Amino acid sequence: MSKCLLHFPVILGSGFVCLFIILGVFAPYVSPVSPNTQILEYRNKPPGFSGTVLYFRYRKNLPVQSVAVRSYKKTVNGVYYTDFIGRGFFLENKKLEKEWVKSFTFILGSDQFGRDVLSRIIFGARVSLSVGICASTLSLLIGVLLGGVAGFFGRHIETFIMRLTDIMFGFPVLLFLIAITTVFEPNLMVVFIAIGVVTWPGMARLVRGQVLSIKTQEYVLAARALGLGSGDVLWKHVFPNCISPIIVAYTLGVGSAILAEASLSFLGLGAQPPTASWGSMISLGKDFIRTAPWISVAPGAVIAITVLGFNLVGDSIRDHLDPKMNSK
């Protein structure tokens, strides 16, 4: 029973992470509708609301139109329907599309443009997770390289890199990200590069500390005595023994990167409309927090669950790799 309780956090965290990764990868197949489909008659509808929409076009060279209906009746010649304000109309068969009727169920409600909140959350998982993973990977590469070089070679190289790290720590992360993203045109590429460039100092300090303790070990001194060069010793003997804390820091960093991306998107500096992003969804729904709170609450809850999942996975990996925790 105790072992099950110990494994419960990693199972829960892994479940959250895998769920949103799967939803993001297969978003076009699992999403109820397109994230940008607008049904203006269904604006700010509560969770669980259902409705029916007819699709038609008056001429072949004109775009497809849609109308939300209260009721409809199919006949031999066409369709009689009653629109949302109670007016009756008739559409001939030649004007109807091949798939002329579709029912919608807004499981998490709709936003102010009549878009399905659930569909936008599912597609938003692609943006948030891709930016979080890519930004954390960039931060990992920069931090491991600079931290490893500083700790292994020391002297002036270490002094320069550590002072640069101190300067980076002197800037508030969010303000630094805002400054970088405002200089360039806001897009996802700028966001993930900015997050990766700003968040590497923590990884660099961690790796430097690990390298300083490892480079004095007997097997490292033996490798040097055998004539291996500094590069070979660093890559073959030092870095492999720093993997455990790096993996933990990377996993925890993904959650922080997701929060940073959501913050930038909330401010309009991340994913641009109509791209679905959890942060931009919260921003769009803030004006309707009293009348339609689900627009902001749903993506906010998803962000919290996703970050919690990565944190639980990171803590579980740390506990598993820590000999002191295993001995307990």
How far apart are alpha carbons 172 and 121 in whole angstroms? 29
Query: Which pTM was predicted?
Result: 0.84
pLDDT for the residue 322: 59
∠140-145-147 over CA atoms, to 5°?
90
User: What does DSSP assign to residue 323?
Assistant: H
31-45, 79-93, 139-153, 216-230: segment of lowest average pLDDT:
216-230
5: confidence class by pLDDT, cuts 50, 70, 90: very low
Q: Locate the domains of the chain by residue range.
A: 49-106, 117-327
Rounded to 10°, the helix 294-321/243-266 angle is 170
Q: Are 148 and 206 in contact (CB under 8 A)?
A: no
Q: In the chain, which ranges are E strands?
A: 49-56, 65-74, 78-83, 88-92, 96-106
Give tens-digit pLDDT for 130-181. Answer: 999 999 999 999 998 898 888 888 788 888 988 999 888 888 888 888 888 8
- Please spell the DSSP secondary structure of 88-145, one letter per residue: EEEEEGGGEEEEEEEEEEETT-B-TTS-BHHHHHHHHHHHHHHHHHHHHHHHHHHHHH
Task: Tell me the one-letter amino acid at 123.
Answer: F
Nearest to 196 by CA among 120, 250, 269, 268: 250
Query: Does residue 26 contact residue 19 with C-beta atoms inside 8 Å?
Result: no
Query: Encoding tokens for residue 110?
Result: 């709709």
Which pLDDT belongs to residue 6? 53
Residue 301 has pLDDT above 90, yes or no: yes
Q: Average pLDDT, whole number, for the chain?
A: 85
Q: Does the pLDDT value for residue 223 go beyond 80? A: no
Mean pLDDT across 44-62: 86
Q: Using the structure block, give the residue that is written with the tokens 């993930």.
A: 192
Q: Does domain 117-327 have CATH number 1.10.3720.10?
A: yes
For residue 201, the surrounding DSSP H or E stretch is helix 200-214
Cα–Cα distance list, 205 to 71, 246, 273 (Å) = 65, 11, 37
pLDDT tens for 164-175 read 998 888 888 888
Task: State how far Cα 49 lies from the chain centre.
Answer: 27
Q: ω into residue 274 within 30 of 0, thus cis?
A: yes
| Residue 105, Ramachandran bin (φ over 0: left; ψ between -120 and 50: alpha; else beta) | beta
CB 303 within 8 A of CB 310: no
